[in-house]
Amino acid sequence: MAFWTDVDRHLIRYAGPGSFTPEIIDRAAGSFLFTQDGRRILDFTSGQMSAILGHSHPDIVDTVQRQVATLDHLFSGMVSRPVVDLARRLADTLPAPLEKVLLLTTGAESNEAAIRMAKLVTGKHEIVSFARSWHGMTQAAASATYAAGRKGYGPAAPGNFAIPTPSNVDWQRQLDLAFDMIDVQSVGSLAACIVEPILSAGGLVEPPVGYFAALRVKCRERGMLMIIDEAQTGLCRTGNWYAFERDGIVPDILTLSKTLGAGLPLAAVVTSAEIEQEAHDRKFLFFTTHVSDPLVAAVGNTVLDVLIRDRLDERAAKLGAFLRAGLMEIAERHPIVGDVRGRGLLVGLELAADPQSSDQIDARVTRRCLELGLHMNIVQLPGMGGVFRVAPPLTATEDELALGLEILDKALSEVA
């Protein structure tokens, strides 16, 4: 077919083997994708974990059509009403002192800006993050990413350290030992710690209650800022507006992306007036082509409108309980399922490795799900069969979730 010939000839493969799903996607609506040949595929990943309102949400469509016809893009030093409105409204959803907002495009860009700000404000350069972390593919973000992509690209930014992904067993001792090692290796320039409240690319790992409060103490003791990356967890997906709320802490800097634009390229850095003032006094620079773009800012305002109007935090909690119960039933029927974990509509289903097969069972289940009309995403981890990241839109119905569970159950039965 000419299309796939063109794919092979002209597209750079950016995700290793199997970069491209073998389907031509023609359109999308709600919780479903539609292929060129007419197949309907249930989207259990919300696109790239982003489309929290589903695809082609009518409110988003109306906003884009209206905004692109009036004000789409400006010189980066200009501000517009959608940008200021979104900054104010985001601050209203957050605890004090988080009130100063920088609007950007992607998660990598927001983490890059947050790390850059932390280095400038503290006057230091060393960054701590979790093993299995994923913060982006730009220089500082990639240097703080340990889930994948570290080999073959030369030196990472100097001064980056990994600490163990938290376990539920004796985590305080694990954290103490981790920072004992950090202190030994540090050259006395610890600037910040950047962490995800739920490690998504790390296999849907949620640190135990109390961990982040203890981590914040470690940061405070060393004069470090705490950056929380809520690319996938922010804005109602976990059943709360922000996942960090569970732990009763407030980060020094918060980064948002994916869910903020509901599939469009919109990200944010949010911090306190005090930190922003110090950064400004030290001549903070993050001047990019699409900083403060009015088109996507208008979309962000519409995302907030829908989240509030439709109470999607409550809906995510309710549907998350339904989804988790269904996955637990699947786990009882299939010994290959090792664990079900997560919060709200961000849930992980772990499959054990199959020592009898060189073709990993998780890949076979993923392929069979797609054949049956369900798009699933698998995170493959060393020594494990893999973890499915289940993240349907917050607008999905119980019937759609039940359909996805039925297809997954069938694929596991046929493959395992």
pLDDT tens digits, one per residue of 326-359: 999 999 999 999 999 999 999 999 998 665 554 5
Which SS3 state, helix, strand or coil, does residue 337 take? Answer: strand
- 343 occurs within a structural domain: yes
Residue at 347: amino acid letter: V
pLDDT number for residue 352: 82
- 210 occurs within a structural domain: yes
pLDDT value at 303 more than 90: yes
Whether 229 sits among the annotated catalytic residues: the reply is: yes
Same domain for 266 and 331? no
Calculate ∠ Cα 134-11-360, nearest 5°: 55
Q: What is the mean pLDDT of residues 54-83?
A: 98
Same domain for 345 and 264? no
Return d(Cα 100, Cα 112) in angstroms, integer.
17
Residue at 297: amino acid letter: A
Same domain for 93 and 24? no
Whether 196 sits among the annotated catalytic residues: the reply is: yes
> What percentage of the chain carries pLDDT values higher than 70?
97
Question: How do residues 206-246 score in pLDDT, each as one tens digit?
Answer: 999 999 999 999 999 999 999 999 999 999 999 999 999 99
226 touches 215 (CB < 8 A): yes
Question: How do residues 257-269 score in pLDDT, each as one tens digit?
Answer: 999 999 999 999 9
Catalytic residue among 67, 112, 232, 362: 232
Same domain for 115 and 156? yes
Same domain for 79 and 45? no
- 18 occurs within a structural domain: yes
- 191 occurs within a structural domain: yes
- 267 occurs within a structural domain: yes
pLDDT value at 381 more than 90: no
Residue at 77: amino acid letter: G
Same domain for 205 and 75? yes
From the DSSP assignment, how many helices (H) and strands (E) are in the chain?
Answer: 13, 15
pLDDT number for residue 358: 41
Last residue within a domain, chosen from 255, 275, 309: 309
Same domain for 22 and 142? no
Question: How do residues 133-173 score in pLDDT, each as one tens digit?
Answer: 999 999 999 999 999 999 999 999 999 999 999 988 899 99
Same domain for 110 and 185? yes
Same domain for 27 and 114? no
Query: What is the span of the domain harbouring residue 44?
Result: 2-57+311-415
Query: How many domains are contained in the chain?
Result: 2
Same domain for 163 and 50? no
Question: How do residues 177-211 score in pLDDT, each as one tens digit?
Answer: 999 999 999 999 999 999 999 999 999 999 999 99
Catalytic residue among 229, 247, 252, 276: 229
- 66 occurs within a structural domain: no
- Please state, rounded to an integer, the average pLDDT across all residues of the chain: 95
CATH of residue 380's domain is 3.90.1150.10
Catalytic residue among 43, 109, 126, 196: 196
CATH of residue 245's domain is 3.40.640.10
Binning pLDDT at 50, 70 and 90, where does residue 18 land?
Answer: confident
Last residue within a domain, chosen from 256, 275, 309: 309
- 321 occurs within a structural domain: yes
182 touches 163 (CB < 8 A): yes
Question: How do residues 91-132 score in pLDDT, each as one tens digit?
Answer: 999 999 999 999 999 999 999 999 999 999 999 999 999 999
20 touches 11 (CB < 8 A): yes
- 275 occurs within a structural domain: yes
Same domain for 197 and 277? yes
Whether 59 sits among the annotated catalytic residues: the reply is: no
Whether 232 sits among the annotated catalytic residues: the reply is: yes
Binning pLDDT at 50, 70 and 90, where does residue 16 land?
Answer: confident
55 contact partners, CB below 8 Å, separation of at least 6: 28, 29, 30, 31, 32, 33, 43, 47, 263, 393
> What percentage of the chain carries pLDDT values higher than 90?
93
Whether 389 sits among the annotated catalytic residues: the reply is: yes
Q: What is the mean pLDDT of residues 23-31?
A: 97
Q: What is the mean pLDDT of residues 66-73?
A: 98
Last residue within a domain, chosen from 294, 309, 324: 309
Same domain for 315 and 296? no
Question: How do residues 265-292 score in pLDDT, each as one tens digit?
Answer: 999 999 999 999 999 999 999 999 999 9
